[in-house]
Amino acid sequence: MLSPYGLDLIDNCQTCQSRPGRLFCNLSTEALQALEGIKCVTAYPKSAVLFVEGQMPSGIFVLCQGTVKMSVYGRDGKKLIVKIAQAGDVLGLSATLSGQAYELSAETVEPCQVNFVKRNYFLQFLKAYPDACLKVTEQLSENYRIACDEVRSLGLLHTADQRLAKLLVEWSCGNAGAGSAEPCLELAVTREEIGQLIGTTRETVIRILADLKRRNIVQLHGSTLVIRDLSGLREIAGWQRSELN
């Protein structure tokens, strides 16, 4: 079923071809059937706000297609992007479980399909299906691991070159063409937003990308980035092979 935003909507989780590879979505048949009865399938255009920092939680948002930028705001109103959520991520999970306000704001980077589940329905669902509770625990553990990794990157990777190389390697690992010799990425975020993700400026990001292009490590065609030398990019990031598994 096509949405107004050109998305081919997946209206049944049980028939979703991507489900087995996604942490939260890989539930038992019984749990999936129950989830079908409480979820709301919605398509959002680019730049739609799902929820804002400080808002009391209405429920969880399961990102099925597209990408969403997760941001925090300073007292001066300045926005800082802390994560780009990918398909399969569950947004607003910790706030929904705790009943505390959303810690971040969520805004679509491109047209997205999102499955929304109201908080009271979701809590009842978890009580009824222990395997869903286990998946939620795994998702929260993965979120914590990623947060620790980001803190480590900002604190221990001393140069912006290292941090950008690490980010591109991570994106290539999560990309549909991750197994290819030359992964191809669609950069849905701006150079300024990439700078926010790695703690540097837009100008520095532009300079680093130009240097990587000059060294034939990457190629840029508009918003499309092709990684020509993935091992070279990993070397810049300072990653060991074990860290990529």
Tens-place pLDDT, residues 152-192:
766 666 789 998 998 999 888 866 555 577 888 888 888 99
Instruction: Output the pLDDT for position 206.
Output: 94
Strand ranges for 78-236 from DSSP E: 79-85, 90-91, 105-108, 112-118, 184-186, 218-221, 224-227
pLDDT tens for 121-131 read 999 999 999 99
Q: DSSP 3-state assignment of 123? A: helix
Is the pLDDT reported for residue 100 higher than 60?
Answer: yes
Instruction: Output the pLDDT for position 119.
Output: 97
Question: Which residues lie closer than 8 Å to 241 by C-beta, 6 or more apart?
Answer: none
Q: Give the number of other Cβ atoms within 10 Å of residue 126's Cβ.
A: 16
Q: DSSP 3-state assignment of 229? A: coil
Give percent above pLDDT 70 in the chain.
Answer: 91
The CA distances from residue 189 to 25, 67, 215, in Å, are: 26, 10, 23
Angstrom distance (rounded) from CA 179 to CA 172: 9
For the chain, the average pLDDT equals 88
Token look-up 């329905």 returns 121
Is the pLDDT reported for residue 244 higher than 70?
Answer: no
Is this structure's pTM higher than 0.95?
Answer: no
Q: Report the candidate in 81, 199, 62 with the shortest Cα–Cα distance to residue 139.
A: 62
Instruction: Output the pLDDT for position 152.
Output: 72
Is the pLDDT reported for residue 78 higher than 90?
Answer: no
13 pLDDT band, cuts 50/70/90, is confident
Domains of the chain, with CATH numbers?
13-154 (2.60.120.10), 158-244 (1.10.10.10)
The token duo for 135 is 């998946």
pLDDT tens for 139-150 read 999 888 888 877
Instruction: With residue 69 as reference, give the H or E element that holds it.
Output: strand 68-73
- Quote the longest CA-to-CA distance of the chain: 56
